[in-house]
Structure 1
Amino acid sequence: MAESVHNIDRYMLDFRQIVSNGRKKIGILIGAGAPVSINVGTPEQYEPLIPNIEGLTKKVKESLQGEELGSFSSIEKQLKNSNIERVLSEIRTLSEVIGENKIHGLDANGHKALSESICKEIKNVVDKPLPSSNNPYIELVSWINGMNRSYGVEIFTTNYDLLCEEALEKTKTPYFDGFSGSKMAFFDPSSISKNDLPPRWVRLWKLHGSIGWTSNDEGETIRIPVCEKSVMVYPSHIKYSQTQAAPFSSLFERLKNFLLEPDTLLITTGFSFADAHISSKISECLAANPTSAVFAFQYKTLEDETFATGLAAKNPNLSVYCKNGAVINSIQAKWKRGSLPNKDWEQIQTEFLNNKDEFLLGDFKLLARFLAIAGGDIIKPKLPESEGIDE
């Protein structure tokens, strides 16, 4: 029996029709890989607007000095495949258990101070404005605004930055993020659960908090223009328990409710599926609601996207699109070009496929461009059903 393949043209034609349909209920999950796609350096020297976890680890380490730097380096050497999440988890654990004893050169108070230094630098690194030139966040909003919609688009993001807010405000797009008010906006969970805003309003749900969130004297989370200490779920072993408390529990409940609604589509970009507390929630909802679907656009190959492909193997309504192939209907196969559905398709094909037959939409920048161009442009011809998967 011949090896299975996925016809990339058929699936991209279908996807283009879906995102050009204003009657579809669509959500977008934006992960940490999205701002990495924006180059603020030179063509010769790539510098991401906000780095990935490896770049973030490097920048945090460079910000430390003296005993804190020594302790960080010592922990980093001890851990296998260390990154900022593993190092911060170890530091927080030590701060809770060692008391006056010194490990890696610091006692419990020293590790607590180191944890605070790391969190402060993480906030500094992600506090970046959008480039003044055209960028994928603006193009994403352009697609959202490009058609009359029956349902408001919902943006879920694990990122702390204010890039989505800035793009929405630059384009004068009304949005709701769970807070009401202006001077010291208060969190309103009942508005999230009702979700009864007009369709032209974008819903923005920040699953891990934001650099613009802080706590008031009563310990409640509020949103203000600038704050010294932010309410955020920092990368460490306590992420799951933190998301079970307010205000994060209401935001995760919204993600769950969205996926349990009939005929919904969640598009993920820049998200590795390594966050088990999010991946498990998605998997649970997909199993409970076969009419919902997730399209995951991944930057790397099938072999490198094991978190996403492993989840897709168990959930047929989760489709994972990688550089060299996909997992669709739980079948993993490499890409293959199909017959052109119309005379304009060869030009459209260059938006999602390069001359090496590598799928391009795992890059947030190119996915946003694809959506912006597709907005309002429905292509009628369809490929034959048999051209989806060849055996």
Structure 2
Amino acid sequence: MKSFSDGVENLRRVLDLGRQHWLLGAGASFESGIPLMYPLTARVKHLLDGADLTIFQATMSDLPDDAHVEHTLSHLGDLIALAERSKSKTAHLSGNDVSLDQLIATYHAIVRAIALTVRYGYRSATAEALEEIGKHDSPVVEVAAHVDFVKQVFSGRINLEPRSQVGFITTNYDTLLEDALAIERRVALDGFSGGAIAYWDGKSIDPAIKSSSREHRVLKLHGSVDWFRDSNAGLLRIRYGVKYLADLSGTLIYPQATKYLETQKDPFAKIFDCFRRTLQSSESHLLAIVGYSFGDNHINSEIEQALANKTNKTVIVAFSRENGNGEDTEVCETLKRWLDNEKFGSRVYVATNKALYHGRFRVNDPSTTADLKWWTFSGMTKFLESGVVA
């Protein structure tokens, strides 16, 4: 990579690979009206009351200062497991013994609050705008940014349609990606079979099963606001607004970070198996990452193990904001480790708000000193459309 323009041209060629998967994190949905983890945590806290709020606050006080609501669910999941094994059916939390029933009730209350917030959207107040709270009759979630993204992946500059195998991976609970695919007359294969209400069989997401050029696997690593575990019917994908299957505490989101419980059974066992097999590619393959903060060590580990395999030909392109302020910024520790790796660093590109990285090489855009916008979801979409770094 001799220059910034040379690096951009290399990046465009990589984004032209016929076999590719896109990993979308929370930042990809932020512009659409779905909060990031810390505003979501604050919103969940606001929606809780009574014993649920007390236990939520006690759990947060037991965790590091930078913990958010997913960490809270993980910790509560661990406490539930301890309480189930104990003779007293209690677990110790912040100096008190809490009953198994109350721990479960709080866990479900948090899930219910997350589901409501993600379904209908939420924007916290800023210096420029008032707080926006999405409701059933007045949601704030918008799909336009995801529709633009889907359009550019398939019909923009990279135009892969006749020869492509394109799939999607997301840590998000929302349905924006699936909705955008449908709006663009494409089929999202998510492991469910049926119509507005569908049942889980896991077949459609299996990489070994051939799909058509307009069918695209969507691996939702942390579940979804329209997934519901019913005690009689099993795992379902449901539509909103029906009287039956209406208890949002049954929403299936976020497998616990310890990964010892939920990821050992479907749907997450199947989803992570398909994720792992997707990454293990002996053919040229792109994994493009946008809106993801690299905060899930389990996901990072799966990617890193795949890259380290001698026969693997996956290339990483990560669109990511650098940490720090002013001139003193750098990529996150995970990306830094990947870029510096002697075995696979040459297969890692990182496009940030400050520069373009390829392995151990870093180049700045000589035409501007302003932050580059291609690290954002909409900025990346515009780059796909025009090939120009804004």
TM range, normalised to the smaller chain? 0.7 to 0.9
Within 1, Cα distance between the matches of 2:91 and 2:273?
Answer: 41
1:296 aligns to what SS in structure 2? strand
Identify the residue that residue 308 of structure 1 maps to in structure 2. Answer: 335
Are the aligned partners of 1:6 and 1:326 in contact in 2 as well (CA < 8 Å)?
Answer: no
Flag the structure with more relative contact order, 1 or 2, with Cα contacts below 8 A and sequence separation at least 6.
Answer: 1
1:59 aligns to what SS in structure 2? helix
Whichever residue aligns with residue 219 of structure 2, its letter is W
Structure-2 change in CA distance of 1:241 and 1:73 (3 Å): closer
Are the aligned partners of 1:309 and 1:320 in contact in 2 as well (CA < 8 Å)?
Answer: no
Are the aligned partners of 2:120 and 2:141 in contact in 1 as well (CA < 8 Å)?
Answer: no
CA distances 1:137-170 after superposition (whole Å, capped 9, x unpaired): 0111111331333123101111110111221222
Whichever residue aligns with residue 259 of structure 1, its letter is L
Q: Which residue, out of 57, 64, 86, partners 1:80? A: 64
Identify the residue that residue 52 of structure 2 maps to in structure 1. Answer: 68
Within 1, Cα distance between the matches of 2:265 and 2:140?
Answer: 34
* Residue 336 of structure 1: how far off its partner (Å): 2.3
Counterpart check, 1:137 vs 2:152: no
Within 1, Cα distance between the matches of 2:255 and 2:12?
Answer: 35
Are the aligned partners of 2:255 and 2:262 in contact in 1 as well (CA < 8 Å)?
Answer: no
Within 1, Cα distance between the matches of 2:62 and 2:188?
Answer: 45
Counterpart check, 1:256 vs 2:259: no
Whichever residue aligns with residue 318 of structure 1, its letter is V
Structure-2 change in CA distance of 1:179 and 1:95 (3 Å): closer
Within 2, Cα distance between the matches of 1:87 and 1:308?
Answer: 26
Q: Which range is displaced more, 175-184 or 160-169?
A: 175-184
Within 1, Cα distance between the matches of 2:293 and 2:63?
Answer: 21
Within 2, Cα distance between the matches of 1:219 and 1:332?
Answer: 54
Counterparts in 2 of 1:1-391, with a 5 A limit?
A: 7-19=3-15, 21=16, 24-38=18-32, 49-81=33-65, 82-97=67-82, 99-100=89-90, 103-104=93-94, 107-108=98-99, 109-128=101-120, 135-146=144-155, 147=159, 148-182=161-195, 184-193=197-206, 194-217=208-231, 220-226=234-240, 227=245, 228-229=247-248, 230-234=250-254, 236-239=256-259, 241-261=261-281, 262-288=283-309, 289-301=311-323, 303=330, 305-314=332-341, 315-316=344-345, 317-329=347-359, 331=360, 333=362, 335-337=363-365, 355-374=368-387
TM (norm. structure 2) is 0.77
Sequence identity percentage? 25
More strand by share: 2
Are the aligned partners of 1:6 and 1:336 in contact in 2 as well (CA < 8 Å)?
Answer: no
Within 1, Cα distance between the matches of 2:300 and 2:143?
Answer: 32
Whichever residue aligns with residue 198 of structure 1, its letter is S
1:111 aligns to what SS in structure 2? helix
Within 2, Cα distance between the matches of 1:245 and 1:27?
Answer: 24
Whichever residue aligns with residue 125 of structure 1, its letter is T
CA distances 1:41-73 after superposition (whole Å, capped 9, x unpaired): xxxxxxxx1111111111111111233323323
Gaps of 5+ in 1: 39-48, 339-345, 347-354, 378-391
